[in-house]
Amino acid sequence: MRLTIVAATGGIGRHLVEQAVAGGHDVTAVARRPSDLPDGVRTVAVDLTRPDMPTLTAAVRGADAVLSALGPRNPRADAGITSHGTRAIVAAMQAERVRRIIIVSAAPVGPVPVPGRPTPPRHDPGDGFLMRHLGVRLTHAMFGRHYADLAVTEQTLRDSGLDWTVSRPPKLTDKPLTGTYRTAWNRNIRGGFSVPRADVAHHMLAMVNEPETVEQVVGIAT
């Protein structure tokens, strides 16, 4: 398949590129400063904080799917990057009539209100007692602006008319690929507090060919 991978030099993005190349896919890697990527990968330099739309549009042209690992390096300082960049990706895909997109969000996003979804559930149905009454408050106190931006990002996809899927992992780790993880649709994973970045990438690639995941939010955790 022809895949365009956005934020290809980030923590999840690198795994996406490496695993996609190993799987025999034709990969276009989009990053602000693409470097140190595997041979055989077409690289495109795009700063998604100030995207050059003709370049981004060319990067998604002809793709069977776009996979975005876009996110801030510092969630406290860089809130806004993900929604801004995702709007640009969606616009480029719409211009090129590319339909399939899978993005990374985060597990605590569910209860965050946005203009298109002003009254979300008070708690995610997959969260246990501690997460509902302590974990969510703590994470939103620390990274509230970031989660609010991810909620806007998810709403951008819902409104896009594209064939979208959102992956919502909890805490990300740098442990090696296991290929063994739990998933659940439209809910977090009970007792799932972390997952390797490599496994998130593995699951995103798997979902490209799973039409049942279209227009679904999918929780993932070990």
Whole-number pLDDT of residue 105? 94
Secondary structure letter of residue 35 according to DSSP: -
Which CATH number goes with the domain that contains 200? Answer: 3.40.50.720
Query: What is the distance between the alpha carbons of residues 215 and 202, in angstroms, rounded to a whole number?
Result: 19
Tokens of 124: 């995610």
Total tally of structural domains belonging to the chain:
1
Determine phi and psi for 6, rounding to 5 degrees: -100, 145
Whole-number pLDDT of residue 73? 76
- Per-position pLDDT tens, the chain of length 222: 999 999 999 999 999 999 999 999 999 999 999 887 887 799 999 999 999 999 999 999 999 999 999 998 776 556 689 999 999 999 999 999 999 999 999 986 654 555 666 666 665 666 654 555 454 555 554 455 777 899 899 999 999 999 999 999 999 999 999 999 999 998 888 888 899 999 999 999 999 999 999 999 999 999
Whole-number pLDDT of residue 80? 81
pTM recorded for the entire structure: 0.86
Where would I find the H helices in the chain? 11-22, 53-60, 81-96, 129-130, 136-158, 197-207
Q: Which of 175, 179, 180, 170 is nearest to 218 (CA)?
A: 170
Q: Which of 73, 67, 190 is nearest to 126 (CA)?
A: 190
Q: Which domain holds residue 182?
A: 2-221
